[in-house]
Amino acid sequence: MDKNKRIQTPLTVQQAAELKVGDNILFSGVIYTARDAAHRRLAELLKEGKPLPIELEDQVLYYVGPAPAPPGHVCGAAGPTTSTRMDSYTPPLIAKGLRGMIGKGLRSKAVIEAMKKHGAVYFAATGGAAALISKSIKKVEVVAYEDLGTEAIHRMYVEDFPCIVVIDSYGNNLYESGPQQYRTC
């Protein structure tokens, strides 16, 4: 029996509500990349009331700057970056409909509150497994901010992209519950 939950993007609010901390996820479909510089620009556009270069409703953002593609590959290593670097920009993006974020590490209280209010989920990808993760990426194209190089916003087409729910849309947090479970063993 497959213990992974397979999700075809976009990630709807109903799908997000069904996910629980600790669920193993395999994403297929489109996910977008965005790191700090792209987040800063998106936040500025929102603040100015200007349109965003991508539609955020029910989308998943992967916090990564994919390495250039070596010959015969669609991209190079594509491991997650530390999510807290995006925290000051994230609540308005969640309010705009962003449904999922993939990264590594903790999230701020403000991000978690926005997730609970708007039904978003935070997923972790395994740090240090960038080459392995890149095997699930089938196509990559720059869609905004090409001047940022690897930190541009990319549209990635993925198949069975592995991650785990670390904070669900109810605010349950594996970074808190995991150590508590361990202590009671």
The Cα 150–Cα 94 span in angstroms is 23
1 to each of 4, 5, 165, how far by Cα in Å? 9, 11, 19
- What six digits make up the tokens of 84? 């807290």
Section 142-152 average pLDDT = 96
Return the pLDDT at 179.
Answer: 52
Per-residue pLDDT tens over the stretch 15-41: 999 999 999 999 999 999 999 999 999
Name the band, by pLDDT with cuts 50, 70 and 90, for residue 1.
Answer: very low
Return the pLDDT at 77.
Answer: 87
Q: Which has the higher per-residue pLDDT, 169 or 179?
A: 169
For the chain, domains (ranges, CATH) are 4-183 (3.20.130.10)
Please report, rounded to a whole number, the percentage of residues in the chain having pLDDT higher than 90: 79
The Cα 99–Cα 156 span in angstroms is 16
Return the pLDDT at 91.
Answer: 98
Return the pLDDT at 68.
Answer: 87
